[in-house]
Structure 1
Amino acid sequence: MDPTQEDALIDRIAKGVSYSFRTPILRRPSDFEMDYEDVFFPAVDGVMLDGWFVPAQGSDKLIICNHFIGANRYGYPGHLPPWDQQGGFEVNLVQAYKALHEAGYNVLAYDLRGHGHSADGAGNITGVGAIEWRDVIGSMRYARSRPDTARMKVGLHSLCMGCNATFIAMARHPEEFEHIACMIALQPLSAAPFIERALIDQGVKNAYERFNERYSYYSSFRHTDSNAIAWAHAVKCPTMVVQVKDDVTTKPTDAQGIHDKLPNPDKKLLWIEGTPVRYEGYRYFSRKPEEMIAWYDAHM
Structure 2
Amino acid sequence: MFGNMVSNMMVKPYQSPLFDKPENWDLDYERVEFPATDGTTLRGWLINGGTDRVIVESHFGVQCNRGGWSPQGKGPIRPWKEDIKFLRQAKHFADNGYSFLMYDFRGHGESDLGPKPWVSWGPEEAKDVLGAVDYISGRSEFANASIGLLSICMGSGATTYAYGLEDGMAKRDKVKALVAVQPLLYSCFVDALGMPGFLQRAGARVTKERLGFDLAEPNFVDHTPKINVPTLVIQNENDPWTQLPMVEGYYNGLTVEKELKMLDLEKSRFAAYDWVGTHPADVRAWFDKYL
2:284 maps to 293
1:216 maps to 208
Q: Does the C-alpha gap of structure 1 residues 123 and 11 become closer, same or farther in structure 2, counting only changes over 3 Å?
A: same
d(CA) in 2 for partners of 1:124, 1:205? 25
2:187 maps to 192
Shift of 1:203: 6.2
Q: Does 1:282 align with 2:277?
A: no
Moved more, 266-275 or 38-47: 266-275
**1:41 is paired with a residue of what secondary structure?**
strand
Q: Does the C-alpha gap of structure 1 residues 175 and 82 become closer, same or farther in structure 2, counting only changes over 3 Å?
A: closer
Shift of 1:157: 0.5
d(CA) in 1 for partners of 2:106, 2:262? 29
Shift of 1:210: 6.3
Q: Which residue identity is paired with 1:296?
A: F
Does structure 2 conserve the Cα–Cα contact (< 8 Å) formed by 1:14 and 1:218? Answer: no
Q: Does the C-alpha gap of structure 1 residues 274 and 54 become closer, same or farther in structure 2, counting only changes over 3 Å?
A: closer
1:165 maps to 158
d(CA) in 2 for partners of 1:14, 1:234? 31
d(CA) in 2 for partners of 1:157, 1:270? 14
1:146 maps to 139
Moved more, 26-35 or 223-232: 223-232
d(CA) in 1 for partners of 2:235, 2:100? 23
Q: Which residue identity is paired with 1:87?
A: W
Moved more, 211-220 or 139-148: 211-220
Does structure 1 conserve the Cα–Cα contact (< 8 Å) formed by 2:151 and 2:181? Answer: yes
Output one character per residue of 1:10-53: Cα deviation in whole Å (capped at 9) or x when no partner.
76443322222242222222211211010100111111100111
2:17 maps to 24
Unaligned ranges ≥5, structure 2: none
Q: Which residue identity is paired with 1:35?
A: D
Q: Does the C-alpha gap of structure 1 residues 268 and 212 become closer, same or farther in structure 2, counting only changes over 3 Å?
A: same
TM-score between the two structures when normalised by the length of structure 2: 0.90
Give the aligned length: 287
TM-score between the two structures when normalised by the length of structure 1: 0.88
Does structure 2 conserve the Cα–Cα contact (< 8 Å) formed by 1:170 and 1:177? Answer: no
Shift of 1:175: 4.5
Output one character per residue of 1:262-285: Cα deviation in whole Å (capped at 9) or x when no partner.
111x11111222312111111212
Output one character per residue of 1:79-115: Cα deviation in whole Å (capped at 9) or x when no partner.
x233662222211000010111112111111111011
Moved more, 114-123 or 60-69: 114-123
Q: 1:183 aligns with which of 178, 184, 190?
A: 178
1:4 maps to none
Q: Does the C-alpha gap of structure 1 residues 112 and 206 become closer, same or farther in structure 2, counting only changes over 3 Å?
A: closer
Aligned Cα root-mean-square deviation (Å): 2.2
- After the TM superposition, which residues 1-300 of structure 1 pair with which residues of structure 2 at under 5 Å, given as runs? 8=2, 12-57=5-50, 59-69=51-61, 70-78=63-71, 80-82=72-74, 85-172=78-165, 173-199=168-194, 204=197, 212-264=204-256, 266-300=257-291
Q: Which residue identity is paired with 1:288?
A: H
Identity value in percent:
25
Q: Which residue identity is paired with 2:56?
A: I
d(CA) in 2 for partners of 1:22, 1:13? 14
Does structure 1 conserve the Cα–Cα contact (< 8 Å) formed by 2:170 and 2:226? Answer: no
Shift of 1:116: 0.8
Shift of 1:215: 2.9
Output one character per residue of 1:40-75: Cα deviation in whole Å (capped at 9) or x when no partner.
001111111001111124x40111111011211111
Q: Does the C-alpha gap of structure 1 residues 107 and 206 become closer, same or farther in structure 2, counting only changes over 3 Å?
A: closer
